[in-house]
Structure formats: C-alpha cells, structure tokens
Structure 1
Amino acid sequence: MLTMQDCIAFCGMDADEVEALAASEHLPTVVAAEWAARELGASGGRAHVIEILSERAGEARLRGDFETADDLDRIIARERAALTKDRS
C-alpha cells in the first residue's frame, strides 16, 4: 500500500508544495500529488504548473490572502529554478 509520503515523493514536489497546491486548487493532497506527477512528467508541464500557480498567487493577492500568495511564490521560484536547470 502506498502512503501519502510515497505519493508526494513520486510527484517530484516537496510536501509543503503539494499541500499549497492542494489548498489553492481545493483538492485532496493525494489528488494534487497525482496531478503534479502528471504535469511535471509531461513536455511543457513544469511551465504549465508555473502558469497555474502564478494565476492562483495573483488571485490570492487580490483577495488579500498574502500568506497563500507567498507560499505559492515560493513554489513558483523552485519550479522556475528546476525549469531553468532542465533547459540547460
């Protein structure tokens, strides 16, 4: 049987990143981990994840939820660094 930690490790994101993604998308954590694994494994998927998280961060700022926006910005920064690394 897979544990939640197994699912998160498989997706390629840190646990805090998956939790923030799950919260921003209103998804169970395991579903967010599955989505991240699919997206990050696809061609152009990391850029798509960055785009979606950027939209969510902007929405959070507009409603005054700066903690969520900051959490998403941290994830975006990590994903951009990984995207840059992937391209080199």
Structure 2
Amino acid sequence: MLTFEDCVGLCDLDEDEIKAIAEHEHVPEIVALELAQYLIRLPDGTIAIKRMIIEDIQHARESNNPDHAKLLQNVLKHFIASHPDFESYKS
C-alpha cells in the first residue's frame, strides 16, 4: 500500500504546494495531491495552481494571518521556480 509520502514522491509538486491546494479547495491532502497531479499536466494547469496559491495568500491577508501569508508566498516562489514555464508569468 502506498503512503501519502510515497504519493508526494511521485507527484510533480511538493508537500507544501499540495497543502496549499488542499486549503484552497477544502479537500483532504490526498485528494489535493490527485488534483495537483491532474492540473500540472494540463496546458494551463500551472496557471490554475498559481492562481489557487495567490488566492490563499489573499485570504490569509484578509484573515489577518500574516505568518500564513508569508508561508504561502514562499510556497508560491518555490512553485514558480520549480516550473520554468512561468518565466513570462512571474509577478
């Protein structure tokens, strides 16, 4: 049987990126992992994932949670750096 950690190892995103998707979609992390792996393969999937993380950052700021917003900003930076197709989308 595969563990969550095994599945993360097979995914094109890291655990923090998966957690951000789980937070955004209000789903368990294993479901977010499946969604992430599906999205990352779509032509505009990286843009969709980036948008989710940005929305999580905005929500954290609106909820007066600057520590979580900072953590998510680091997740976003890592995600962009890990996906070179973002060179033209950096913000």
TM-score interval (norm. to shorter): 0.7 to 0.9
**Greater Cα offset, 16-25 or 66-75:** 16-25
In the alignment, which residue of structure 2 is the partner of 1:86?
Answer: 85
| Cα deviation, residue 68, structure 1 | 2.0
The alignment-based identity, stated in percent, is 30
Is the helix fraction higher in 1 or 2? 1
| Cα deviation, residue 87, structure 1 | 6.3
In the alignment, which residue of structure 2 is the partner of 1:51?
Answer: 51
In the alignment, which residue of structure 2 is the partner of 1:69?
Answer: 69
Q: Is the 8 A contact 2:21 2:49 kept in 1?
A: no
Give the letter for the 1:86 counterpart.
D
Structure 2-normalised TM-score?
A: 0.78
Aligned residues: CA RMSD: 1.9
Q: Is the 8 A contact 2:17 2:79 kept in 1?
A: no
Structure 1-normalised TM-score?
A: 0.81
Unaligned runs of 5+ in 1: none
Unaligned runs of 5+ in 2: none
Aligned length: 87
